Chains A and B, each alone.
Chain A
């Protein structure tokens, strides 16, 4: 158990490299721009307390896709996969530990999102009850976890096939950002089978819910099921394949 915790701690430490600091600086700038613009333009926010909206939420999406593809992909890119996956822990255990650490790390952004929102609302002069804050905090936190789980499972699956984090990153971008932007147009303009297919695609549901910071129960169940299935398939392939 101590070993698992130390691996988990090491994984979180590993996340904090230059890219994270660059991302955090960009996220802070985008968050300020977002909130100032939204305030000046009197645009509605999806959730009253959410601080990361629009551009900053989009940056988070790209960062999550990067994390999802980098979690295992970096081991193959840096040639450390043999060392990491041939330790006393099985490949599945290593991937489980990494996944939990990454899920914990990314879920913190959900809390960060609400904290910024609260600060902005405080400056504007709005007040909320503690119950309201807690329920929003919980729902946004769930949105972050569900969204990142689906990205992570797709990342593991693509890495298990390609062993290349760049390909995994591109596939993630295509599925979660590009397909979503096309999906919006199809859903708005089309009334045929394409609309039905697009509306039920997990990637569309995941991105659509994340952009509004809201998933209904059906979405959560569907996305969780999808993530678990893809995650298990990815694990199975990694277990069966020879490491590079």
Chain B
């Protein structure tokens, strides 16, 4: 277990040496600050959630694409043979990748929440530790579960296609397609029906909801955790059965 954690920390360190993640985080922070600077002078209502969803516009894509970079990159760079046939078992390797993605999710989630809180504090000049750390724990849980679900989904696609570009396109396509279909279906559907509720709260929609509004309920969290777990187990079965 120690080696798995060591590998995942190493992976995170490697990732943070790249320009990609830094530039994405920089753009997300800059984008949020720009919107903050362009805020109306007399806002109707403002609470600690006011500046939350802006950072999520960009971190949403970061969380979607990151698993493809960490796992499918091995297949694109042809390093998968070395990694998956080394001294560590395949399960260990996949677990370490998952852990590193969860860690990245925690880091991005913390930045997201802290920035939103900080901007509200700056606007209202009410600096307290409670305000600064408002909802940070809930946010971390949301990000952890979202990262877990997205990573498991990406692992499955990555282990089937063995291609980084196919994984990225499939993930982006699935999430975009789902949101468009959801939008069209919900125009005409009675929102109180069970089907409408299912459409609104399917795991892919929950990822968006969690990252944009931070209002996942307990049942939403359980749904993400369970589907993530099932997908993760399926991905483990696939990678154990496939020839690399």
Contact = CB atoms under 8 A, between A and B. Distances in A.
Contacts of A112: none
Contacts of B65: 170
**Chain B residues touching A, majority SS:** helix
A55 B173 CA distance: 11
A192 B38 contact: yes
Interface string B171-213: 0110011001100100110000000000000000000000000
A62 B176 contact: yes
B61 interface: yes
Contacts, number: 47
Given A165-B165, A166-B164, A37 B184 contact: yes
A12 B181 CA distance: 32
**Chain A residues touching B, majority SS:** helix
Interface in B3-51: 20, 38
B61 A178 contact: yes
A62 B184 contact: no
B55 to A, nearest CB: 13
A41 B188 contact: yes
A55 B166 contact: no
A67 to B, nearest CB: 11
B181 A166 contact: no
A66 B169 contact: yes
Interface in B51-71: 57, 61, 65
B168 A169 contact: yes
Given A33-B181, A54-B180, A182 B57 contact: yes
A62 B168 contact: no
Most buried by B among A77, A190, A192: A77
B81 interface: no
Interface of B: 20, 38, 57, 61, 65, 76, 164-166, 168-169, 172-173, 176-177, 180-181, 184, 187-188
Interface of A: 19, 26, 30, 33, 37, 41, 54-55, 58-59, 62, 66, 70, 77, 165-167, 169-170, 173-174, 177-178, 182, 190, 192, 194
29 contacts: A19-B166, A33-B181, A54-B180, A54-B184, A55-B177, A55-B180, A55-B181, A55-B184, A58-B176, A58-B177, A58-B180, A59-B173, A59-B177, A62-B169, A62-B172, A62-B176, A66-B165, A66-B169, A70-B165, A166-B164, A166-B165, A167-B20, A169-B165, A169-B168, A170-B65, A173-B172, A177-B176, A192-B38, A194-B38
